[in-house]
Amino acid sequence: MPRRRRPALILLVVLVALGCLALGWWQWTRYEATGGTGQNLGYALQWPLFAAFSVYAYRRFVQLEEVAAEPESAAATADRSQAREIPADILPPRPAALVSDDIDPATSEYNRYLAELHAGDTDRSTA
């Protein structure tokens, strides 16, 4: 498969890297100034790392895109689908609801009332 050219993305990465390096230089000059602090030195060292990360992220993006573009064999696809199945015994059983015959009469009446409301309620989601 031919390599794709991405001029807009390459331009963006170059602009981001140059911007980060410019900000690092600016923080370095602030550090060397009379009122410069250790915080300025920290930022002066941090901005070039951001520039390097933008280049690394672009490079990784290209690598992952090339891997995704490669056709897969049927065996690899079958292996991956089997790996996604969850074994039946991995999860604990669901707890069962406790059934009790000695329910409070007020609760039983309230439940009957709710059941009547539900029976008389119309489905408004389809309207």
What tens-digit pLDDT sequence spans the chain (127 residues)? 556 778 999 999 999 999 999 999 999 999 999 898 999 999 999 999 999 999 999 999 988 888 877 776 656 666 665 667 777 788 888 888 777 667 788 888 898 899 899 888 876 766 5
Q: Please say whether the dihedral angle defined by the alpha carbons of residues 69, 74, 79 and 83, taken in this order, is positive or negative.
A: positive
The pTM assigned to this predicted structure is 0.53
Answer yes or no: is 117 within a domain: no
Count of structural domains within the chain: 1
Would 103 be classed as within a structural domain? no
Residue 14 lies in a domain: yes
Residue 33 maps to a domain: yes
Residue with tokens 């409070």: 104
Range of the domain at 14: 7-70
